[in-house]
Amino acid sequence: MLDSQPTKDLIAYTVALDAAAMSLALVKRVPAPFKSLADQIVRAASSVAANLSEGNGRFGRDRFNHWRIAYGSAKEVDTFLCLLSGAGVVDSSQAKQAADLFDEVRAMTWRLLHPKEC
């Protein structure tokens, strides 16, 4: 049984899982010329959730480093979704939904990284 204790209260992690699942399903059948972009989405989308989870189990600068990586990976996914959508390779409305979820993750991650400013 999976123990979700370290991330159960981290809403950004839950949203990141949803966004990643949506993105992974979207690029499952991308044509060969665009496979490298789809592979980047798989890696970056997975990285967002993984780094939020790992950062939540760490302390100090190490924690923030994982959260910064998650933030950057969420921006990366957005870029690749835009590229594939613009090329007409993936459904634009589904790509926008996934990108919007990653935008929420970035906003939540920003607040994790800048708690005194919020």
Distance CA 50, CA 36 (A): 21
**What are the domain boundaries of the chain?**
10-113
* pLDDT over threshold 70, residue 50: yes
Is residue 117 very low, low, confident or very high in pLDDT (cuts 50, 70, 90)? confident
Mean pLDDT score, 52-67: 94
Distance CA 55, CA 88 (A): 35
Total residue count of the chain as it appears in this document: 118
Distance CA 93, CA 48 (A): 21
10-113 has which CATH code?
1.20.1440.60
Matching residue, tokens 């600068």: 61
Residue 8 is predicted with a pLDDT of: 58
Is residue 4 very low, low, confident or very high in pLDDT (cuts 50, 70, 90)? very low
Task: Please give the residue that has the higher pLDDT: either 111 or 5.
Answer: 111
Quote the tokens at residue 90: 């993936």
pTM of the shown model: 0.89
Tens-place pLDDT, residues 78-109: 999 999 999 999 999 999 999 999 999 999 99
Q: How many CB atoms lie within 10 A of CB 63?
A: 16
Is residue 115 very low, low, confident or very high in pLDDT (cuts 50, 70, 90)? confident
Hey, is 78 helix, strand or coil? helix
- Phi/psi of residue 101, nearest 5 degrees: -65, -40
